[in-house]
Chain A
């Protein structure tokens, strides 16, 4: 039986164009610029100086604060600059710029393809290793993984859920790692289960990835406590709350955390990174990035070092086509539009998507015809048309009554609106206001 979440959701076209193209390693760029703010929370503090020689995998920045993560060099070479550079949205963010010289790795990193199945570390040692490796959630939010794997006092994890849904159209990077490296992912799940002290792990995969389901099922048999759950195709199935609902049928309470249902959700990419960090001593320095779009001559999946400029990725598929109108980092539903192509990839980058004007241009805004389709599509059971109106009139109190803080910003409302009303744009602003008011009230 195929499972899915109960409320709302939309069915955008699949568009998994790069499903069958094998993974390639992207040639090293001449320089990389590694962002210090790749994770949710405080930016990392650089510990290298201009002129320092670094090796692949060497620590170059330390976490500053509780919610933060260290950053490692993804290339070997000389530190050329430590300066603010524009990120993909054009805002300055501290970067460490490294000129690439050769490809020399730290000696303790195991680069052999051998599978390491033995694990003797304790839960604390595993968490420490994950923290040191700078691993963050690779599903998009980039929340430091070691914090997510240490439930707050009083809360107990019962089950680990691996997110292999890849519910966004176009993306195929998770699909490929599940097909190519199922054992490593399963081992990563085992490691995280041990860190959490849980005996059960579900791997949720949408039905449009039959090869991945098969590969993960075979891997799951080899390891205990794992179960692959085939899910119906529906967006936003990869949302944490939706995935928990789909797989174990529990609903995260309003203003609560996923751990309140006893579930911890991790992306399959994170599981792979955990395996590599714990068993192979490899910090998070590269990731799988899908470069896709109908207007591109080829669509490919690349293994990319963190800090590679987006322009290099586009060059690798033959440059930006003439009719390209929007370039997105991430999927088309929640990804960010890139305004600066010299910006570089970060840990949580998953795709570079090129869309044409026809595919992406918003339709002109018309009057609301009160069809209620946005409310039908909202996976949190909110009323986007109402929230939009309240946000426009600047009424934070009423927005709070209407539970705007539950909004997961999935974009289903805007996707579905026949009148082309920018629902989510304003709801997002209103939500930020309400959250600010709620936080100040707590203090």
Chain B
């Protein structure tokens, strides 16, 4: 008999709560566009913020609310995901070139002499607000790894010995998290390039050539040789620093061969 009572009681309780929950759910139901969930499910779900929104959900809400897809791009998902979203919403997606992060500094200890020792919190931002840095160059990579912790995809590595930052292009999604985390803006997003061929100036030092040279043997001294040799007029010198415009660069690599300080990097063509 006890068993029967117990079961009956439990069933009654269960029914009661089911009814209560049903009404509560009805009362607090939020009306929303079902397409938001649909778009969200198409997104990578990394919530990296690379698109400029708080997360994938926020991106989905904005995409559904907007009239066209022109201003939206998910750097992680790339053209493929955008095409799928466009298909789901019946709109046109803009093709964008896939981007990758590049580190514009090669100032390891062998090139860039250390003048003091930093002993604060291991954070680039703390060091950057404190002073000009451990070397004579106040522009380049600080080497404390804010970009490493900012990367949601494990694509940034810090060599524990040289404190040189490298990007794993296989893992990099081009979200730009590392570029935003870098207080010296050493990291830049550039197109992956045809067959992985990227040519860029790996230096951000805007000091005069002599000062740069004194601080670092592999820095850009703004001599302008690269600009002269470039057949596509893709290189300009501003503030004693060469910059290669990736919209014009064809990746011939003539500038890299010409650079007297080897500050220009041309990545090898992938087979």
A residues in contact (CB < 8 Å) with B: 86, 89-91, 326, 337, 339, 360-362, 422, 425-426, 428-429, 432
Contacts and interface: CB of A to CB of B under 8 A. Distances in A.
Given A90-B138, A429-B125, A361 B132 contact: no
B121 A426 contact: yes
B131 A426 contact: no
Nearest to B137: A90
A301 B187 CA distance: 47
Contacts of A425: 120-121, 123, 126
Contact of A86 (B119, B121, B125, B132): B132
Given A422-B120, A426-B123, A90 B131 contact: yes
Contacts of A86: 132
A89 B131 contact: yes
Interface string B124-146: 01100111110000100000000
Contacts of B18: none
A91 B131 contact: yes
Contacts of A360: 119
Nearest to A432: B129
Nearest to A425: B121
Contacts of A422: 120-121, 126
A426 B132 CA distance: 18
Looking at chain B's contact residues, the main secondary structure is: loop
Interface residues of B, number: 14
B120 to A, nearest CB: 5
A118 to B, nearest CB: 47
Given A89-B132, A90-B138, A422-B126, 16 more contacts: A86-B132, A89-B130, A89-B131, A90-B132, A91-B132, A91-B138, A337-B131, A339-B115, A339-B116, A339-B131, A360-B119, A362-B119, A425-B126, A426-B121, A429-B123, A432-B129
Nearest 3 A/B pairs, CB to CB: A90-B132, A422-B121, A425-B121
Contacts of A428: 126, 129
22 contacts: A89-B131, A90-B133, A91-B131, A91-B132, A91-B138, A326-B119, A337-B131, A339-B115, A339-B132, A361-B119, A362-B119, A362-B120, A422-B121, A425-B120, A425-B121, A425-B123, A425-B126, A426-B121, A426-B126, A428-B126, A429-B125, A429-B126
A339 B115 CA distance: 8
Contacts of A361: 119
Interface in B75-123: 115-116, 119-121, 123
Which of B115, B119, B131, B133 has its CB near the most chain A CB atoms (within 10 A)?
B131
A428 B129 CA distance: 10
Contacts of A362: 119-120
Contacts of B129: 428-429, 432
Nearest to B134: A339
A395 to B, nearest CB: 13
A91 B133 CA distance: 9
Nearest to B138: A90
Contacts of A432: 129
Contacts of B125: 429
Contacts of B123: 425-426, 429
